């Protein structure tokens, strides 16, 4: 039996090209057609240079949504002067090929002036959750993230959005922002995808030299060791974190922005021999050569 596809819901094979929308108007009309056909929509915000971590978010969306949009936008507002905005990897052709292979339905890839036209003057700022960790190490970063993600949520009108736990503080900030602004979207966190040696996948890993790449998994290994110590009650939290920092410094990591254990919901600091009765995570950020690595794990 053949079925007539609903408007905007034409059946497609995984090898179909995703629809590429460059403007907000094109994105909105695409989503409107899907809506008329009764289809649910998932959004995966990215800055491109896609790897298996990003594609795991696409798969998570495809599991629960009828249509999946991947946004690719290197957001200038989340880079401080002197950071890597100009050199951030841009790999459009291979990104599009990867998204075609996994069957993503659409790519939203606006140019900066589409997102921030002349006169743009509004910043979304989330308090409390941004008072620590990368909120201190990268001033302005979370304002840039919250602003662009709020816009992407409103531009796409998606039902659900998928974020990696790799950037756990970002996930919490985005979830808070959507709740506070009454944006009707479900913000879903997905597990970190790692290399076999434990290094969390990141678009910035391409900056690592061969020697640095060999050393990089030490960050995750020291975090696992510290988490194990904390879990087994061997010494206090601060000592476990300090020892991890010392071990990594001795191996040439640095500066180390933080290795800290925090409440997994509120990001309240945990230290000393506080009994850990709520879900907690160990967060780390450290430079290795020119590359800033971040990671976090549940304790
Ligand atoms: P980015 O392109 O780095 O801004 O990341 C886009 C999304 O992919 C964010 O939600 C990230 O948390 C997520 N992501 C990045 N790396 C990973 C990873 N290794 N595993 C899972 N998600 C990731």
User: pLDDT per residue over 276-297, tens digit each?
Assistant: 678 999 999 999 999 999 999 9
Which residues are catalytic, by number? 54
pLDDT on residue 7: 38
- State the pTM of this model: 0.95
pLDDT on residue 278: 83
Q: If you measure from the C-alpha of residue 274 to the centroid of ligand 1, how many angstroms do you get, rounded to a whole number?
A: 31
pLDDT on residue 221: 98
Q: If you measure from the C-alpha of residue 163 to the centroid of ligand 1, how many angstroms do you get, rounded to a whole number?
A: 7
Cis-peptide, bond into residue 255, ω within 30° of zero = yes
Please, are residues 284 and 295 in contact by the beta-carbon 8 Å criterion?
yes
Q: Supply the DSSP string of 9-59, one letter for each residue.
A: -----TTSPPEEE-SHHHHHHHHHHHHHTT--EEEEEE-S---HHHHHHHH
For each of the chain's 299 residues, which pLDDT tens digit applies?
333 344 344 445 556 899 999 999 999 999 999 999 999 999 999 999 999 999 999 999 999 999 999 999 999 999 999 999 999 999 999 999 999 999 999 999 999 999 999 999 999 999 999 999 999 999 999 999 999 999 999 999 999 999 999 999 999 999 999 999 999 999 999 999 999 999 999 999 999 999 999 999 999 999 999 999 998 887 699 999 999 999 999 999 999 999 999 999 999 999 876 666 789 999 999 999 999 999 999 99
pLDDT on residue 257: 98
Q: Between β-strands 186-190 and 67-72, what pairing exists: parallel, antiparallel or unpaired?
A: unpaired
Atom of ligand 1 nearest to the CA of 194: 19
Residues with CB under 6 A from ligand 1: 46-47, 53-54, 56-57, 163-164, 166-167, 190, 192-193, 200-203
User: CA 271, CA 178: separation in Å to the nearest integer?
Assistant: 30
**Ligand 1 probe mutation, 53, 88, 162, 172, most atoms within 8 A of CB:** 53
Ligand 1: residue whose CA is nearest its atom 5: 46
Q: If you measure from the C-alpha of residue 264 to the centroid of ligand 1, how many angstroms do you get, rounded to a whole number?
A: 18
């Amino acid at each position: 039996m053949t079925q007539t596809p609903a408007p905007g819901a034409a059946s497609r094979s995984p090898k179909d090209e995703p629809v590429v929308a460059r403007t907000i108007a094109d994105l909105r009309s695409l989503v409107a057609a899907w809506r008329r056909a009764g289809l649910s929509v998932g959004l995966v915000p990215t800055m491109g240079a896609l790897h298996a971590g990003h594609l795991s978010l696409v798969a998570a969306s495809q599991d629960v949504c009828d249509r999946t949009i991947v946004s690719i936008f290197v957001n200038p507002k989340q880079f401080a002067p002197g950071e890597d905005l100009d050199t951030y990897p841009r790999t459009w052709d291979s990104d599009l090929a990867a998204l075609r292979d996994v069957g993503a339905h659409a790519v939203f890839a606006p140019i900066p002036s589409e997102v921030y036209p002349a006169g743009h003057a509004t910043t979304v700022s989330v308090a409390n959750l941004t008072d620590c960790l990368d909120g201190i190490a990268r001033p302005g970063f979370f304002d840039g993230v919250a602003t662009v993600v709020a816009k992407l949520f409103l531009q796409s009108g998606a039902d659900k959005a998928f974020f990696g736990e790799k950037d756990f503080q970002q996930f919490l900030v985005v979830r808070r922002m959507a709740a506070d602004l009454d944006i009707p979207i479900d913000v879903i966190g997905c597990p970190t995808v790692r290399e076999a040696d434990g290094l969390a996948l990141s678009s910035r890993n391409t900056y690592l030299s061969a020697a640095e790449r060999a050393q990089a998994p030490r960050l995750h290994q020291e975090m696992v060791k510290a988490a194990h110590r904390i879990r087994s009650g061997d010494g206090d939290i601060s000592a476990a974190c300090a020892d991890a920092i010392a071990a990594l410094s001795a191996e040439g990591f640095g500066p180390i922005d933080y290795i800290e254990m925090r409440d997994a919901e509120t990001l309240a600091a945990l230290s000393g021999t506080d009994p850990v009765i709520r879900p907690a995570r160990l967060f780390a950020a450290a430079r290795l050569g020119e590359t800033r690595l971040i990671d976090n794990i549940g304790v």
